[in-house]
Amino acid sequence: MKILEDSRDLIYTDWTLSEANFDPEHLAARETVFTIGNGCLGTRGSFEEGFPEALPATLIHGVYDDVPVIYTELANCPDWLSLMISVDGERFRLDRGEILHYERQLDLHHGLLSRSVRWRSPTGKTLDLKFERFASLDDHHVLGLCCQITPIDFSGTIEVQSSLNGYPDTQGFNHWEQIDSGQIEQGTGRGVWLQVRTRRSHIDLSMAFKLAVIGADASFQVTNARGDSTVLSVFSAIAGQTISIEKVATVFTSQDVEIPLQAAQDKLANLPAYRVLLDAHRRAWDAVWEHSDIEIEGDRTAQLAVRYNIFQLLISASSHNDRVSVPAKTLSGFGYRGHIFWDTEIFILPFFTFTQPAIARNLLTYRYHTLEGARRKAAHSGYKGAMFAWESATTGDEVTPQTSISTDPYAEVVRIWCRDREIHLSADIALAVWHYWQATGDDNWLRDYGAEIILDTALFWMSRLEWHAEQERYELCGVIGADEYHERVNNNAFTNRMVQWHLEKAIAVYDWLQQTFPDRATALAQELQLTAEQRRLWQTMIDKLYIPHDAETGLIEQFEGFFKLQDIDLSKYEPRDRSMQAILGIDATNQRQVLKQPDVLMLLYLMRDTQALPDYCNVLQKNWDYYAPRTDSTYGSSLTPAIHASLAANLGDVEEAYKHLMQAAMVDLDDNRGNTIDGIHGASAGGVWQAVVFGFGGIQLKDSGPVATPHLPPTWTRLKFKLNWRGTWHCFDLVPSQAHATDAHATDIQGFIFDLDGVLTDTAEFHYRAWQKLADEEHLPFNRKANEALRGVARRKSLMLIVGDRPYSEAQIQEMMERKNRYYVASIQSITPQNLLPGAIALLDELRQAGMKIAIGSASKNAKAVIEKLGIAAHVDAIADGYSVDRPKPAPDIFLYAATQLGLAPAHCVVVEDAPVGVAAAIAAGMGSIGIGSPSRVGAANLVLPNLIGVHLTELQTKLDHRALKV
């Protein structure tokens, strides 16, 4: 395979995510990133023609099956995407021939994935292909795929082969047995159908599709080899002619209808044309975004990232099935085997509660339908009531593996204690039930479903709490809190307070039922064997439940004895690419004050709207200062950054909040944990929505409705979203406060002016060698230390510093400058984009996408040549070089010239420099300044950074705000 263009990262607009080049190393992760879905199913972004090492998958809610003895998992369903194209016998594949052009784009607004490829076959035939696919949001049983084929420099025979793969692989296991298959003739097209059944859960699934060729006379042939039903179409095409291949598929399971095969065939027979289906799909997405969108102005990266995470939530939850929920990795990958965790209720559900309450109701009703499994788990563990499974599938029975599964034959077996000890889930679900009721006022659902969930799980707590007579208190021992780095601890504050809250609400719900629906209260009391004495005991447990807390410091102790553990300074382990548990080991981590994810802080986040902590902000600040530095936020849990973002925003630390928000929002787009291959981080996606709404939007939930106290990042000029509160839509259109706007000079920044050498690239070595050669020829003393004084200095002044007091005529000086320049120009011929300094291109891309104007302000007269060789000319709006002005730095002329070329006032520009004379020139020009290098050299700048690695626009804005620009 030969790729003719340089690889670039993903490109963002407000609504689209584009991959400009194909990089096989990113194949599997990008399959996750480009997943499409409709809330019923998800199809990973695998190529229609296939690729070695690809992981194609279509996952359907509720289609679970067992891997014997080991685990229950979502079964990979038959692959409907397959579309193989051959030109005169040469098969189109991206690992063969040449890729002359490639772009893949996900349109978030309309749930449409497209790809355009110009491909030259090994024998020199050039072909344009344009693919698009969608999983219909209008009709969840319909899938659509179109491919436009255009021969560029040949005429010949094209063969298209499309299949239904009845034996898809689920990480080494085939869950399906084929029942039957057959062919369909419809109009000018041809199709096939397939009927399969899961091996142990006995779920029937049927798919059918028809293939049509538009723009050519095509012949069709159908084969039904066992497990692979295929339609083969052959036609002739001439150069420049575009032929469209349209494939429409239907899918039903026995969880949808009694006879899936008949339903799939009937649906297919009555479907309208492909474009009609696509239009209906687009309209459905328009309607969904009407209430679910978040608009961010001033920060395109954040805008796209937030919308991307919302899109992933929307395609992962069912609007019509209340017996399924959202798996931790959504329907986009095999991670966690498609199991449901607390992620859904705590992280994902709030988005649906406030924007799509009917879906939130379905997700919670799933928990009602799994109560019997929760009761079986409680009874198996020796308790009463209902104890929800840590990992759940169809029935609600525990499906967490007892031990970790490793491919290393010598690895030690690790016991997974979460299934037995991480019991806070039952209180988490009760919290979600209560919040749904408060937000929607859905009394009927609470009466029929929610009350039973809250009351039966309260009975579990009644049997799980332990009375310690000596201390005269109730305790919970041998548990795992939200943190998870510390196993089998006593009196975890998160768990104990959540249980206390749960029991408080159980009393409130039971009293409400007796007053509002007395018959239902009586029926539930009989069904659950709930007595007045038990209700009184709940109040005693509430009053006597121990929650570790240090009254002197205001700190909540994560669990009993946590403060006695060995302290840790996480900065001493940086840089790293693994979790602290992977570095230290399980036992050593257990003995240290290091957290996998927020525990006490998570508790404070969930309790933010309660009245239990009247001095909430002070308590939050003290506990934030203690626990945030001890939390492994980079490689611990992906659940951490979004919660930290929301809390930091509430505390007014917008810079810290934004950093965590983008870490969460980009977790899959950047694959910053290296595990996007396993599927979308669903909880993080839900947390991103919460961080924007509850953190930056500052939404507080009052009885009268939601109220906003915004904490917007400096670059966000507007934040808009809608929330549904008790049947009424509340529209929020938030802008920075007037005080914030006048105090924050950085929000006026509209352009950046970069020095070249030492900032975007390092040609200092080329300059040094040229000067050194000249000095040697002239027998002038010169070395690397002397070269440091030339940083940012124009050519003539540099030469005069080298010459010193030695007498030279003007003609000799001119000749030496020209000679040095010849040496330099000859040496820079080898410059390539590889000579860009780390972080440079990423920052330029981000500035460009944010609409910032960009200029180069370099004293070098060779700046334009260097810019071309670096490949950044397209990123630059203006160039001010040694030819542009007469007075060199530290005079401000070069930067003032650049600002004029950009059409900006100096006060709206920031200069990025690595030399003292450059910083001085920026200050003299009345511009903000960012110094790159050591403070001893560029300390006069408004902001000093060691380099551009990991630097983001909003971070620059915020830091410049905090430092009050010296202009």
Task: Give the per-residue SS3 of 385-442.
Answer: CCCCCCCECCCCCCCCCCECCCCCCCCCCCECCHHHHCCCHHHHHHHHHHHHHHHHCC
Residue 491 host element (H or E): none
468: which strand partners?
A: 473
Q: Which residue has the tokens 């965590």?
A: 660
The mean-pLDDT minimum among 14-18, 495-499, 712-716, 745-749 falls in 745-749
* Beta-carbon contacts of residue 72 (< 8 Å; ≥ 6 apart): 64, 65, 66, 337, 339, 393, 394, 399
Residue 876 has pLDDT above 80, yes or no: yes
CA 367 – CA 426 distance, rounded (Å): 10
> What pLDDT was estimated at residue 270?
95
Residues 37-73 pLDDT 10s: 999 999 999 999 999 999 999 999 999 999 887 889 9
**Average pLDDT estimate for 521-529:** 96
Higher pLDDT, 481 or 939: 481
Residue 140 has pLDDT above 90, yes or no: yes
The mean-pLDDT minimum among 76-85, 302-311, 906-915, 957-966 falls in 957-966
Residue environment code for 704-720, b if the CB has 16+ CB neighbours within 10 A, otherwise e: eebebebbbbbbbeebe
pTM above 0.85, yes or no: no
CA 925 – CA 904 distance, rounded (Å): 12
Cis amide prior to 890 (ω within 30 degrees): yes
> What pLDDT was estimated at residue 228?
81
Q: Which of 650, 647, 643, 621 is nearest to 710 (CA)?
A: 650
**Chain centroid to CA 221:** 43
Angle at 573 between CA 570 and CA 579, to 5 degrees: 80
DSSP state for residue 443 in the 8-state scheme: H
Give the pLDDT band (50/70/90) at residue 309.
very high
* Catalytic pick among 48, 159, 398, 484: 484
CA-to-CA dists, residue 527 to 63, 165, 355, angstroms: 31, 48, 34
106: helix, strand or coil: strand
The mean-pLDDT minimum among 5-19, 171-185, 318-332, 469-483 falls in 5-19
Give the pLDDT band (50/70/90) at residue 966.
very low
Residues 439-491 pLDDT 10s: 999 999 999 999 999 999 999 999 999 999 999 999 999 999 999 999 999 99
Percent of residues, the chain, with pLDDT higher than 70: 96
User: What six digits make up the tokens of 175?
Assistant: 């869950």
Residue 763 has pLDDT above 50, yes or no: yes
Sheet holding 728-734, edge to edge: 294-297, 718-725, 728-734
Rg (CA), the chain: 32
The mean-pLDDT minimum among 5-14, 293-302, 396-405, 632-641 falls in 5-14
> What pLDDT was estimated at residue 792?
61
Residue 523 has pLDDT above 50, yes or no: yes
Q: Which of 353-362, 572-581, 725-734 has the highest mean pLDDT?
A: 353-362
Contact 483, 599 (CB under 8 A): yes
Contact 898, 904 (CB under 8 A): no
Sheet holding 943-945, edge to edge: 878-880, 853-857, 751-754, 909-913, 928-932, 943-945
DSSP state for residue 557 in the 8-state scheme: P
Residue 747 has pLDDT above 70, yes or no: no
Residue 406 has pLDDT above 80, yes or no: no
> What pLDDT was estimated at residue 171?
86
Number of helices (H) and strands (E), helices first, in the chain? 32, 36
665: helix, strand or coil: helix
Residue 565 has pLDDT above 70, yes or no: yes
Residues 102-114 pLDDT 10s: 999 999 999 999 9
> What pLDDT was estimated at residue 486?
96
Catalytic annotation present for 484: yes
> What pLDDT was estimated at residue 967?
34
Task: Give the per-residue SS3 of 589-657.
Answer: HHCECCECCCCHHHHHHHCCCCCCCCCHHHHHHHHHHHHHHHECCCCCCCCHHHHHHHHHHHCCCHHHH
Residue 964 has pLDDT above 50, yes or no: no
Residue 563 has pLDDT above 70, yes or no: yes
Amino acid (1-letter code) at residue 597 = Q
> What pLDDT was estimated at residue 611?
64
Percent of residues, the chain, with pLDDT higher than 90: 74
Residues 188-200 pLDDT 10s: 789 999 999 999 9
Residue 947 has pLDDT above 70, yes or no: yes
489: which strand partners?
A: 479
Give the pLDDT band (50/70/90) at residue 738.
very low
Mean pLDDT of the chain: 91
Residue environment code for 376-385, b if the CB has 16+ CB neighbours within 10 A, otherwise e: bbbeeeebbb
> What pLDDT was estimated at residue 6?
33
58: helix, strand or coil: strand
User: What six digits make up the tokens of 181?
Assistant: 């298959």
